[in-house]
Amino acid sequence: MATIAVDALGKENVVGVTLPSRFNSTETKADAELVAKNLGIDFLTIGIEETVQSYLKTLAPLFAGRAVDVTEENLQSRVRGTLLMALSNKFGWLVLTTGNKSELSAGYFTLYGDSVGGFAVIKDIPKTLVYDLARWRNKRDKRPVIPESTITRAPTAELRRHQKDQDTLPPYDILDAIIAHHVEENHGLAEIIKDGIEPGVAAKTLRTIDEMEFKRRQAPLGVKITPRAFGRDRRMPITNRFRPYDS
């Protein structure tokens, strides 16, 4: 997404920010720095571990006796969101939201965390197309402006050890095929299964897409590039008893 910003606005108008925690790999940190170097943009590093631990210490009496779960994962994302919006307020910067259409469809983002920002540049771009665009951008420049490892290694939010997106989601090629059917073509379960997608995976994914409407309503606006984007093109009632995919 940084490359899109630089292409649109010029490198002098873009600032990269990395907010590492103890769960971020050395490779992730190095890739972020390399992208900024390749694009020639200013680059800030703001560690979040001390802030996250401060929050956890404050919450410890209330969380006593309860297992660590997604709460602690989301807390990291929300600390990042708070810091990014502080930079926005102080310097008048526009925070670009990072989520793509695949993540928005499945609700695979944290409200008030990685969903913060004023403009979601790639919110209507499926994850598989994000990879294709990254490859195209590198091919255009005849050099790896976007490090190859960010394209080839397994995607992960890095909010816990050894976390992978596929722990929660179907592989992105399958998820994006379901999204194309259901969101863009308005196809139901029967038509999706005919495309060779496993019925249980299809039904669970359709249920998730419809249930995540409440999160998408709170997401920033963004560019529309597909036949049917979330928002004006496709609306689901947030409160309803519509459960066609339950067994």
| Neighbour count for residue 179 (Cβ, 10 Å) | 25
Domain, as residue range, for 95: 2-165
Structure tokens at 64: 């006593």
Residue pair 5/14 in contact (Cβ under 8 Å)? The answer is yes
63 burial level (CB within 10 Å; 0-12, 13-18, 19+): middle
143 assigned to some structural domain: yes
CATH of the domain at 72: 3.40.50.620
Average pLDDT score over residue span 16-34: 95
221 assigned to some structural domain: no
Which string of DSSP letters, residue by residue, matches 63-102? HTT----HHHHHHHHHHHHHHHHHHHHHH-PPPEE---HH
84 assigned to some structural domain: yes
Q: Provide the domain count of the chain.
A: 1
Structure tokens at 34: 């390399």
Closest to 51 (Cα-Cα) out of 87, 79, 26, 82: 79
Q: pLDDT per residue over 72-95, tens digit each?
A: 999 999 999 999 999 999 999 999
8 assigned to some structural domain: yes
What 3-state class would DSSP assign to 205?
helix
180 assigned to some structural domain: no
237 assigned to some structural domain: no
Q: pLDDT per residue over 195-214, tens digit each?
A: 999 999 999 999 999 999 99
Whether the per-residue pLDDT at 127 is higher than 90: the answer is yes
157 assigned to some structural domain: yes
pLDDT at res. 244: 79
pTM: 0.92
138 assigned to some structural domain: yes
